Chain A
Amino acid sequence: MLKVEKLNKKYGSSYAVRDLDFTVGSGELFAFIGPNGSGKSTTIRMLTGLQKASSGSVEMFGEVMGPGKTHLKARLSFIPDTPDLMGKLTGREYLNFIASVYKIDETVFLEEQQKLLALFDLEGRLDTLIEEYSHGMKQKVALIGALVHKPDILFLDEPTVGLDPKSNRNLKDHLRDYIKSGRTVFLTTHNLSLAEEIATDILIIYNGRKLAQGTLSELREANGNASARLEDIFLELTEVDRNDPSDT
């Protein structure tokens, strides 16, 4: 579904992303984790066609991804850490807008919207301007907008920030069901317990480079501690890399 080969992004003489290789298959919940400034957002921007890579390739559904690939964009959704919503529209108008540009069948849209509104406890609160919503409500509207057209691949950057515990739990359950239907979720988060809980595959990035990739068990095995938590593995790997004199 998603194939990344030798992906590089250079700003001036420094690399934001360096020689990144990985694949994400159908039905996977891929957790892409790393410290601040490690190149996560830049990578997502290249994967979603928002930014051109300096070199390397991104293939999505067997086709090279890039700006202007609207037929590929129709099959994905991306929620950045601060959702880019139009404050002067009401929640309903925003969802109507999304459903229209993604050309969803009206009956399907109404059904799906109803289901998601119930999931995020937002029923009866759509007719308010988005700028008047709290951060959590904005996040919920962004999530509904991203999920309503059932994308084949869903990119989420810190999706749980601002969500109340109930919506948080509902989102996790929904994402588990979502991948069961053969769709893919690409998740970026600093909440390592969330990644540990729901991810099927985990990639740790540091200074733009891949440090490790695998299932939680594989990472534990590589770490030599069968009961290690993802947080311990993450901190150990990034700390080792920080102390590595060969790292540039």
Chain B
Amino acid sequence: MIRLILDTERRALFNYWKVLGESKRILYILIGLLLLLIPLPLVTTLLFSITASLDENYMDLYLLILSVASGVILILVSIHFIIKDMILSGSITHYMSYPISAAELFHAKFIKHNLLYSTSIMLPLSIIVGAALAVRYDQWLLLPNSIVYFIVLGLVFTSISFGLVFLTANILPVKKVSEILAFLGGMSFLLIYVIMFAIADSFTGILAMFPQLPVLYSGVLYDYSAVPGILGPIIMILAAIAIIISTRFIVVRAIDRVGVAEGHSAGKRKTGRSSISHPVIVLVSKDLKLSYRNYRELAVLLPLYVLPLVLVYFSSPAEAETRSLVMGGSQLLSAAAGGALITALYISAHHTARDAEHFQMVQLLPVQGTKLALAKYLFNLVATVPILMVIFTITWFFSTAGVETLLFMLPGIVLVCLAAVPVGMLIGSSSPVVSRKNPSKRLDTKSGIIITMIMFFVFMMISMLPLILEGMAVGIRQGLIAMAILGICAIISWFILGSVAKKYDSGFKITYKD
């Protein structure tokens, strides 16, 4: 039965490739060739040379970091694909409607995910590292040990990923699982950077602490000796089997629960009140509810709200010793303007494109396009202006900028958002995407490229601004001129709403994916 499921999955993958458009196939082949020609040889050479020449005192730390880093990446990748493959696609319900047991389904999916997203990365890694170590120590047994170590590690990471996804399914309401996990996935994506920065900051401290730890890989992965060299892999394999069995227990229990609970109500909310509001208000309120109740949506948008802080980080001079934000008024103002522009642009594009999901209903409503566009405009302002104001007011508290900066910055954020939101809405309404497998994907490639180019331009401007402003006197007069320019942009931008309204009236050009 497991072989049958795997065969079906293989055919599905093959069919997916067959139905892809020719241009996409060529694009994927080109990307694959590029990866094979540039990053792969580079990474191989780098890994090989580091492994072969590293000071032996740091060998344990190096192998540990390699294992942890690959673990973090593999777990995040696996979680993403497990959710997509098993929860979003509804394949559990599909398979369970046949005489297939939950354990068989788990085994088949485990093998598939492990081969596709873990072994495919760990096998080359293990060969590169193992070969380098075998050459370095002139002990060929290090190569099979390295292969066993990394492959088994991959099995453990796949197991952990399955465990995390289905443990959540055991605890949380079934239909919330994918949203909540996607949200956690989005958060952990940010967390990786925080952890990486923290590690980079205190790397010397870690090195100083490390010698006190017990020896990890000596005798097994380097400097081979018979007893640990044989026992190490055996213990690892046994531990991995135990972990996979535990994971199977969690997954089987969750699959049974999904089968039972699907379609059942997850409980009643607080009793609401039936009432009437103005159409525009009710449209704004609808959008607010659709946003904050959808964790998947939040996971996509949250990094956008954090992006302005990244701009602040990069536009402030490093002051590692004091760790205070040495940031002048002009720098803070430019970071606020750039951050507001990017955030407002992307968020309004995303929210407008979201209407494609229910466009038939939207089109049937007896509401003119102008009102629909106005409601979306107001909602986008509500979703951006207050949050950006709070973020930059907090940043201002930690900066060296004066009160006049704050007085310019807050209305500046409002004006930038007023100018950027209609542009974002126009991008979002131009060619939105509806994807069943990836519901948070709202924008097509073209829109994504446009926004990325704008982001790149803004980043460039902000990083160059301190150089441009150097030596220039920036006073109240200049500030007022900047405000006036932004005000004019906001007024001009208002007219773009007319184009968005026309798109609401005539119908969006929606691309339906998968």
Answer yes or no: are A and B bound together in one complex: yes
Q: A95: CB under 8 A from chain B?
A: yes
**Nearest CB in chain A to that of B505: its residue:** A68
Bound form: Cα–Cα A105–B274 in Å: 12
Residues of chain B within 8 A of A228, CB atoms compared: none
Q: Are B364 and A78 in contact (CB-based, < 8 A)?
A: yes
CA gap between A67 and B363 in the complex, in Å: 8
Q: Is the CB of A106 within 8 A of B276?
A: yes
- B363 surroundings in chain A (CB, below 8 A): 49-50, 67
Q: Interface stretch among B198-206, B279-287, B308-316?
A: B279-287
- Tell me which of A73, A88, A95, A128 contacts B265 (CB under 8 A): A128
Which residues of the other chain, B, contact A88 by a CB distance below 8 angstroms? Answer: 289-290, 293-294
Residue from A67, A84, A93, A101 in contact with B272 in the complex, judged by beta carbons closer than 8 Å: A93
B residues within 8 A CB of A86?
A: 286, 290, 358, 361
B293: chain A residues at CB < 8 Å are 88, 129
Most buried by A among B269, B294, B364: B364
Answer yes or no: B196 CB below 8 A from chain A CBs: no
- Write out the residue numbers on chain B whose beta carbons fall within 8 Å of the beta carbon of A102: 366
Interface string of B360-392 (1 = CB under 8 A from A): 110111111100000000000000000000000
Chain A proximity of B266: nearest CB distance (Å):
5
Q: Is A48 an interface residue (CB 8 A)?
A: yes
B368: which of A48, A68, A97, A131 is its contact (CB, 8 Å)?
A68
**Which of A48, A50, A70 is close to B367, meaning CB atoms less than 8 Å apart?**
A70
A contacts with B, residue count (CB < 8 A): 42
> Is residue A100 contacting chain B, with contact meaning CB distance below 8 A?
yes
| B334-377 to A contact mask, C-beta < 8 Å, 1/0 | 00000000000000000000000010110111111100000000
Contacts of A74 in B (CB 8 A): 366
**Which of B265, B267, B368, B506 is in CB contact (< 8 Å) with A70?**
B368
State whether the Cβ of B212 lies closer than 8 Å to any Cβ in chain A.
no
Q: Count of B residues near A, CB < 8 Å?
A: 39
B278 in the interface (beta carbon within 8 A): yes
Checking B175, B282, B286 against A131 with a beta-carbon cut-off of 8 angstroms, the contacting residue is: B175
Tell whether, in the assembled complex, residue A128 and residue B268 are in contact, meaning their CB atoms are under 8 Å apart.
yes
In the assembled complex, the Cα of A127 lies from the Cα of B281 at a distance in Å of 20
- Provide the bound-state CA to CA distance between A92 and B269, in Å: 11
The answer to whether B274 touches A95, judged by C-beta atoms less than 8 angstroms apart, is: yes
Check A103 against B358 for contact (C-beta < 8 Å): no
Tell me which residues across on chain B come within 8 A of A85, comparing CB atoms: 361
Q: Are A50 and B364 in contact (CB under 8 A)?
A: yes
Q: Which of B271, B278, B358 contacts A100 (CB 8 A)?
A: B278
| Assembly CA distance A80 to B361 (angstroms) | 10
Q: Within the complex, what minimum Cβ distance (angstroms) separates B183 from chain A?
A: 14
CA distance A96 to B289 in the complex (A): 13
Q: Are B366 and A101 touching (Cβ within 8 A)?
A: yes
Decide if A134 touches B263 in the complex (CB within 8 Å).
Answer: yes
The residues of A that contact B272 with a CB separation of less than 8 Å are: 90, 92-93, 96, 126-127
CB within 8 Å: A-B pair count: 104
A96-B263 contact in complex given A73-B366, A84-B360, A88-B294, C-beta closer than 8 Å: no
Minimum C-beta distance from B260 to chain A (A): 14
Q: How far is the CB of A90 from chain B (nearest CB, A)?
A: 6
Question: In whole angstroms, how far apart are the Cα atoms of A50 and B364 in the complex?
Answer: 7
Shortest distance from the beta carbon of B389 to any chain A beta carbon, whole Å:
26
Interchain CB contact under 8 A, A101 and B289: no
User: Among the listed A71, A100, A133, which residue makes an inter-chain contact with B276, where contact means beta carbons less than 8 Å apart?
Assistant: A100
Report which residue of B265, B266, B358 has the largest number of chain A beta carbons within 10 angstroms of its beta carbon.
Answer: B265
Distance in angstroms from A1 CB to nearest chain B CB is: 17
For B11-44 the 0/1 string (1 means CB < 8 A from A) is: 0000000000000000000000000000000000
Q: Within the assembled complex, what's the spacing in Å between the Cα atoms of A68 and B366? A: 9
B265 nearest in chain A by CB position: A132
Residues A100 and B505 in contact, CB atoms below 8 Å apart: no
Say how far B355's CB is from chain A's closest CB, in angstroms: 11
Please report the C-alpha to C-alpha distance between residue A73 and residue B367 in the assembled complex, in whole angstroms: 9
Any chain B CB within 8 A of the CB of A113? yes
Q: Which residues of B contact A93 (CB under 8 A)?
A: 272, 286, 289
Instruction: Report the bound CA distance from A104 to B282 in whole Å.
Output: 13
Q: Contact between B274 and A110 (Cβ–Cβ < 8 Å)?
A: yes
Instruction: Please determine whether A101 and B365 come into contact, CB atoms closer than 8 angstroms.
Output: yes
A89 contact from B264, B289, B369, B506, Cβ within 8 A: B289
Q: Tell me the complex Cα distance, A68–B367, Å.
A: 9
Given A67-B505, A68-B505; A84-B361 close (CB under 8 Å): yes
Chain A residues positioned under 8 Å from B265 (CB to CB): 128, 132-133
Is B478 engaged at the interface, CB distance under 8 Å to the other chain?
A: no
Per the bound structure, the CA–CA distance linking A97 and B280 in Å amounts to 10
CA–CA, A93 and B286, complex, Å: 8
Hey, what's the 0/1 contact readout for A15-52 against B, CB within 8 Å counting as 1? 00000000000000000000000000000000011100
Q: CB of B322 within 8 A of chain A?
A: no
Tell me how far the C-beta of A114 lies from the nearest C-beta in chain B, rounded to whole angstroms.
9
Contact with A along B170-181 (1 / 0, CB 8 A): 000001000000
**Closest CB-CB distance, B357 to chain A, in whole Å?**
9
Residue B3 CB within 8 A of the other chain: no
- Whether B361 pairs with A109 at a CB distance below 8 angstroms is no
Asked whether any CB of chain A lies closer than 8 Å to the CB of B275, the reply is yes
Q: List 27 A-B contacts (CB under 8 A).
A: A50-B360, A50-B364, A68-B505, A70-B367, A88-B289, A89-B286, A90-B272, A92-B272, A93-B272, A93-B289, A95-B274, A97-B286, A100-B281, A101-B282, A101-B283, A101-B366, A103-B279, A104-B276, A106-B276, A110-B274, A127-B268, A127-B269, A127-B270, A127-B271, A128-B268, A129-B266, A131-B175
**Can you name 6 extra interface pairs (CB under 8 A) apart from A73-B364, A90-B272, A101-B283?**
A48-B364, A68-B505, A78-B364, A92-B273, A101-B282, A128-B269
